[in-house]
Amino acid sequence: MRDFASIVIWLFVASFWEVVVAPLVSIYGVKPDIGMIIVIYMALFNRNPVALIFGFFWGVVVDSMVPGNLGWSALLYLLVGYGIGHISTRFHWGTFAAQILLVFGAVAFYQTGHFVVLNFDEPNTFVFHFVRYGLTTALYSTLIWGLLRYFPGIHQVGKAA
C-alpha cells in the first residue's frame, strides 16, 4: 500500500513538474525529463518493481498528450526502469561519473525510441529532432540530476544498490 501511494504521489509530482515547473525552466523548448529522473532514482534506490510500475504509468500519462502513440512511452520507461534496476545489482553506481553516464544514457535511449516512433513516417526528420531535442533533453536532465545529487539523501543513491 505504501509503495502504491508512493507511486501515485510521484506521478502527481511529475505531472506538477510537467505542467507548472517545466515551462518555467524550459530553454528553447528543451526541458529536463523529470519522469526519467524519478524512474532512475527509484530503480537505483527502491529497485524493482516500484520503478517498473511508476515507469509504466508515467509513460501512459506522457502518451496521454499524443493518444496515437499510447503505450510506447510506457514501454520505453518500463524498459529503462527494468534495465537500470537489473544492472544496478551488478555494478556500483555510487560514483558521480557513473550516475551521470547512466542518466544521460537512459534519457538518450528514451528520446531515441520516442523520436523513432514520432518520426516513423518521416525518417528524415528523426536526426534533426533527436539532436535538437533528444540529446539536449538528455544533457539538461543530466544537469538536473547533477544538481539534485547535492540534495539530502540523493548521494545515497547507488550505495543502496
Partner 1 sequence: MASIQFGSVRRNRALFPIGLIILSFLLILSPMGMKEYIAEIGIEIFYLPIENIKGKFEDLYKVREHARRLEAELEKAKLQLSYFTDAVEENRRLREFLSLETDYGLKLIPAEIVKLPDIPNQCSVIINVGSDFGVRPDMAAIAPDGLAGKVKRVYDNSSEVQLLIDPSSRVSAVDNRSRVQGILKFNPIDGMILDNVPVHEDIAEGDTIKTSGVGGVFPQGIPLGVVAHFKIGSTSYFFAEIKVEPFVKFSRLERLFIMDNASR
CB 118 within 8 A of CB 89: no
Between 5 and 97, name the residue whose CB sits nearer to partner 1. 5
Task: Note the helical H segments in 30-95.
Answer: 34-45, 50-63, 72-87
Question: Which residues of the chain form contacts with partner 1 (CB under 8 A)?
Answer: 1-4, 11-12, 15-16, 18-20, 46-50, 52-53, 56, 59-61, 63-65, 67-68, 70-72, 74-75, 78-79, 82
151 sits in the region (left: phi over 0; alpha: psi -120 to 50; else beta) called beta
Q: Determine whether 81 is exposed, middle or buried from the number of CB atoms within 10 Å of its CB (0-12, 13-18, 19+).
A: buried
Between 79 and 139, name the residue whose CB sits nearer to partner 1. 79
Shortest gap between Cβ of 157 and partner 1 (angstroms)? 16
CB 6 within 8 A of CB 122: no
Shortest gap between Cβ of 79 and partner 1 (angstroms)? 8
Between 96 and 120, name the residue whose CB sits nearer to partner 1. 120
Between 16 and 91, name the residue whose CB sits nearer to partner 1. 16
CB 84 within 8 A of CB 106: yes
Shortest gap between Cβ of 89 and partner 1 (angstroms)? 12
Shortest gap between Cβ of 160 and partner 1 (angstroms)? 12
Grid coordinates representing 61? 500519462
